[in-house]
């Protein structure tokens, strides 16, 4: 029986073969025209005014905190249900993560809990579009504005998602995207950071380029300390090609998710909910298993039928390191960590086979 993976990247070498050869022949492998073109098309697509390309969402998030001057002793509020990169970047700076529990339906940061955890030490808020779902982002933005806090969106999974007809990347002060192979658009590894603030965009570009600018004589002037978080030309080329197809990819994934929902809802599974004012890119198809169904047992059963699935994601406060250091367990995210499952979703996935195996397990 053919293996069903959880995702298949939407990449076709033929789409980029000619341009890739031209890149190789030119010898311009970084800081070239493809990087510039990808930045432009990403800005067009997301509606963000400024885009920088990075090596990953992790380096993008880390830059975002540094741009806002977060340092040792500061507190940064972070949604508790996410991939650990969302919190690692806070810890890395020496700041203190404040874990904010999430809504049990949307899986996103609970606004009331955020409000009750803001203190005079809070320096920034990291909202995570859980599996690409932007539900509640604008409400969190309003709270941040009231408290004069920068809102950093961990939009690692959210390319193509929107809230109130505005795409992720154009809403928060800074949004950070991932182009890891599990994402809808992949450049192997890679990321992007978007903002509508010109001064912030300028500082980001300098920081990710070793702290350098080109002076009037086109000589490098190191006006800040910085890093090399730049994307290569080969990656940018991949990104441009996939961005052209992204809307079709998303349409396809929505259709697949609906098929899963129709079959699994009657069995007691419930899917991640998206608010009516949002459009979800369906980065992942994630369900809560019915009461009494052992999630890990289901994952193993699917494996035994050559079908890949995985848990939803992690309760950050429950990761061993953070659990021991802070002892701040969050209830809902822990329930979600233990009871959610991500099902295979890609162009020609055999949904019927997955559903049949799930039915066999339940019965
Ligand atoms: C929510 C979230 N944030 C951050 C990351 C890290 O992204 P990257 O691998 O591009 O650093 C991921 C990766 O899966 C993620 O899901």
Whole-number percent of the chain with pLDDT over 90: 97
Q: Which domain holds residue 122?
A: 13-243
Whole-angstrom distance, CA of residue 274 vs CA of residue 79: 17
| pLDDT confidence of residue 94 | 98
CA distances from 53 to 34, 42, 61, 179 (A): 11, 10, 12, 10
Indicate the number of domains in the chain. 2
Helices (H) and strands (E) in the chain, counts: 13, 18
* CA 6 to centroid of ligand 1, rounded, Å: 16
Neighbours of 41 (CB within 10 A): 16
Q: Ligand 1: does its nearest atom lie under 6 Å from the Cβ of 159? A: no
Identify which of 82, 8, 1 has the alpha carbon closest to the alpha carbon of residue 348.
Answer: 8
Q: Ligand 1: does its nearest atom lie under 6 Å from the Cβ of 178? A: yes
Q: Name the CA dihedral angle for 91, 93, 99, 103, rounded to a multiple of 10 degrees.
A: -110
Task: Copy the structure tokens of residue 104.
Answer: 């049990």
One domain, residues 238 and 277: no
Mapped onto helix, strand or coil, the DSSP state of residue 272 is coil
| pLDDT confidence of residue 2 | 94
Q: What is the CATH number of the domain that holds 144?
A: 3.40.640.10
7 within domain boundaries: no
One domain, residues 206 and 329: no
Of 218, 243, 268, the last residue of a domain is 243
pLDDT for 108-139, tens place per residue?
A: 999 999 999 999 999 999 999 999 999 999 99
Instruction: Give the distance, in angstroms, between the CA of residue 298 and the centroid of all CA atoms in the same chain.
Output: 26
Identify which of 288, 303, 281, 313 has the alpha carbon closest to the alpha carbon of residue 354.
Answer: 303
Whole-angstrom distance, CA of residue 177 vs CA of residue 251: 20
> What is the band of 317 on the pLDDT scale with cuts at 50, 70, 90?
very high
Task: Copy the structure tokens of residue 330.
Answer: 């969050």
Pocket test for ligand 1, best of 57, 86, 137, 239 (most atoms within 8 A of CB): 57
2 within domain boundaries: no
Task: Copy the structure tokens of residue 285.
Answer: 């198809």
* CA 92 to centroid of ligand 1, rounded, Å: 16
Ligand 1 atom with the smallest distance to the CA of 183 is 14
Q: Ligand 1: does its nearest atom lie under 6 Å from the Cβ of 82? A: yes
Task: Enumerate the β-bridge partners of residue 342.
Answer: 286, 310
Mapped onto helix, strand or coil, the DSSP state of residue 232 is strand
One domain, residues 216 and 103: yes
One domain, residues 230 and 251: no
pTM: 0.98
As a residue count, the chain comes to 363
> What is the band of 241 on the pLDDT scale with cuts at 50, 70, 90?
very high
Neighbours of 182 (CB within 10 A): 17
Mean pLDDT of 16-40: 97
Task: Copy the structure tokens of residue 233.
Answer: 């030309």
Whole-angstrom distance, CA of residue 342 vs CA of residue 131: 10
For the cut 90, the answer to whether the pLDDT of residue 268 exceeds it is yes
> What is the band of 104 on the pLDDT scale with cuts at 50, 70, 90?
very high
Q: Ligand 1: does its nearest atom lie under 6 Å from the Cβ of 58? A: yes
Of 195, 213, 243, the last residue of a domain is 243
One domain, residues 237 and 252: no
Of 197, 225, 243, the last residue of a domain is 243
Instruction: Give the distance, in angstroms, between the CA of residue 155 and the centroid of all CA atoms in the same chain.
Output: 4
Q: Ligand 1: does its nearest atom lie under 6 Å from the Cβ of 316? A: no
pLDDT for 56-86, tens place per residue?
A: 999 999 999 999 999 999 999 999 999 999 9
One domain, residues 225 and 255: no
Q: What is the DSSP code (8-state) at residue 289?
A: P
One domain, residues 235 and 256: no
* CA 359 to centroid of ligand 1, rounded, Å: 32
Pocket test for ligand 1, best of 84, 128, 156 (most atoms within 8 A of CB): 156
One domain, residues 261 and 236: no
| pLDDT confidence of residue 321 | 98
| pLDDT confidence of residue 1 | 86
One domain, residues 158 and 295: no
Pocket test for ligand 1, best of 85, 134, 286 (most atoms within 8 A of CB): 85
89 within domain boundaries: yes
178 within domain boundaries: yes
One domain, residues 198 and 277: no
One domain, residues 279 and 330: yes
68 within domain boundaries: yes
One domain, residues 185 and 201: yes
For the cut 90, the answer to whether the pLDDT of residue 304 exceeds it is yes
User: CB of 199 within 8 A of CB of 49?
Assistant: no
Q: What is the CATH number of the domain that holds 329?
A: 3.90.1150.10
């Amino acid at each position: 029986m053919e293996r069903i993976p959880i995702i298949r990247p939407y990449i076709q070498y033929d789409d980029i073969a000619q341009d890739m050869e031209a890149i190789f022949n030119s010898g311009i492998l970084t800081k070239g025209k493809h990087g510039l073109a990808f930045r432009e098309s990403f800005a067009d697509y997301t509606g963000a005014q400024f885009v920088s390309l990075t090596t990953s969402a992790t380096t993008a998030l880390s830059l975002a905190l540094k741009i806002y001057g977060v340092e040792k002793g500061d507190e940064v509020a972070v949604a508790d249900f996410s991939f650990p990169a969302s919190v690692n970047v806070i810890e890395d700076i020496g700041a203190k993560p404040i874990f904010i529990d999430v809504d049990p339906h949307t899986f996103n940061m609970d606004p009331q809990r955020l409000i009750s955890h803001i203190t005079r030490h809070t320096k920034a808020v990291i909202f995570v579009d859980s599996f690409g779902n932007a539900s509640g982002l604008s409400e969190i933005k309003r709270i941040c504005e009231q408290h004069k806090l920068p809102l950093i969106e961990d939009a690692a999974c959210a390319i193509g998602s929107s809230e109130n007809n505005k795409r992720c990347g154009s809403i928060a002060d800074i949004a950070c995207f991932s182009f890891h192979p599990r994402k809808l658009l992949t450049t192997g590894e890679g990321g992007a950071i978007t903002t509508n603030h010109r001064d912030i965009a300028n500082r980001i570009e300098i920081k990710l380029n070793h702290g350098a600018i080109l002076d009037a004589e086109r000589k490098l002037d190191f006006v800040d300390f910085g890093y090399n978080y730049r994307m290569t030309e080969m990656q940018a080329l991949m990104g441009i090609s996939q961005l052209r197809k992204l809307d079709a990819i998303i349409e396809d994934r929505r259709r697949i998710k609906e098929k899963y929902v129709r079959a699994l809802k009657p069995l007691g599974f419930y899917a991640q909910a998206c608010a009516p004012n949002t459009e979800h890119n369906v980065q992942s198809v994630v369900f809560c298993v019915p009461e009494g169904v052992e999630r890990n047992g289901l994952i193993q059963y699917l494996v035994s039928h050559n079908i890949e699935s995985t848990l939803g994601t992690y309760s950050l406060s429950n990761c061993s390191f953070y659990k021991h250091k802070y002892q701040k367990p969050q209830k809902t995210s822990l329930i979600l960590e233990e009871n959610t499952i991500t099902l295979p979703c890609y162009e020609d996935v055999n949904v019927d086979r997955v559903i049949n195996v799930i039915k066999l397990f339940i019965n």
